[in-house]
Amino acid sequence: MSFSDTYSSFSGFFVRAEVNGNYQMSCEQQTCYYSWPSVNNNEKEVHRKSYIPLSFGDKVTFTMRTGGSNGEIVDKKEVIVNPHFSEVKAQLKTNTISMSFSDTYSSFADFFVRVEVNGNYQMSCDQQTCYYSRSSVKNNEKEVHRVTSEPLSIGDKVTFMMRSGDRNGEIIAIKEVVVN
């Protein structure tokens, strides 16, 4: 979570983060608990790795209050863990397919990604492990790519699927690219 560091100097300032109603971290004025705060250009960013493994559909709630932990709510944000692909590509010239997504998803116990060309398996990732591909992570963005097993042709359909569970789990994000 992030907010103006100016708020931290206000008497009674309190902010709390929960996952599905379970406490994760909080800040009371300048002191933050169970988290790592940093300030840049008066913007305070507070983060932590959830002690409860996150899953797709989890609700993360951020509540800001004045008057301490039981004070008046002045702001409340809810975020549903809803994964998506940042980018997907199919490059005819190099016969390369690639995808990128937040590496945070890789820590979810039920995370699975599969890529097919015209219905034929090409590569997959099961949590942190990616198969038949190369992966790299920069700024929490994971990029996975490979040269296809057969040369790509114009009109080929490349399907990128994120699933909850294993390779047969519910599809929660899908992108299709037609090679042109």
pLDDT tens digits, residue range 76-126? Answer: 998 888 788 999 999 999 999 999 998 888 888 888 999 999 999 999 999
pTM to 2 decimal places: 0.65
pLDDT-based confidence at residue 66 (cuts at 50, 70, 90): very high
Helix and strand totals (H; E) in the chain: 0, 17
Give the number of other Cβ atoms within 10 Å of residue 8's Cβ.
Answer: 18
pLDDT of the residue at 36: 92
The single-letter DSSP state of residue 69 is: T
